[in-house]
Structures are given as structure tokens and as C-alpha cells.
Amino acid sequence: MIRAEKTIPLDRLPAGSSGIVRSFEGGKVLTSRLSALGISIGITVKVLQNGGNGPLLTLVRSTRIALGRRTSGKIMVEKK
């Protein structure tokens, strides 16, 4: 089991870094939406662009996905 202090919100990762998705801080609607985008527990997400505000551009399973700050802040990752 992953300890909570090892995880950070996805929106805190700088551009060029990657993280492994460990949990979601949201309900069924968020989990379902992220699953439809291909983001699930255990998958590696690479941050392509993180300007500090506005959407976060990520690479998930060879697909670029733009995520809003609110959504990306609810995805807890372990930095690779």
C-alpha cells in the first residue's frame, strides 16, 4: 500500500516529469470521467505543460489530454 505522504496532486508536477496515479480525491463522477479518458489507478501520466495556471497538458497512453486545474488537483500521483 502506498503511504499518503508519498503522493502529490498531479497539478504540482513540473513539465517534463511523470507520476504514477495512486488515487483520486473525488466521487464516482470524477472517477468515471477520468476512466473514460484512459486515466486509471497505476497508469503513468507525463506532464507536458504546466504553466501554473490554466489547463495542464498531459500524456496518457500515447494520447495528449488537457486537464483543468480542479480536476488535475484531485489526481494523486507518486512522482517517478
pTM over 0.75: yes
Q: How far is CA 66 from the centre of its chain?
A: 10
Q: Where are the domains of the chain?
A: 4-79
The answer to whether 23 and 41 have CB atoms below 8 angstroms apart is yes
- The angle subtended at Cα 48 by Cα 47 and Cα 52, nearest 5°, is 75
User: Each residue of 27-64: pLDDT tens digit?
Assistant: 999 999 999 999 999 999 999 999 988 999 999 999 99
CATH number of 4-79: 2.30.30.90
- What are the pLDDT digits (tens) for 19-32? 999 999 999 999 99
- pLDDT the model gives residue 19: 97
Q: What is the 3-state secondary structure (H, E, C) of the chain?
A: CCCHHHEEEHHHCCCCCEEEEEEECCCHHHHHHHHHCCCCCCCEEEEEECCCCCCEEEEECCEEEEECHHHHCCEEEEEC
pLDDT recorded at residue 52: 83
Question: 4 pLDDT band (50/70/90 cuts)?
Answer: low
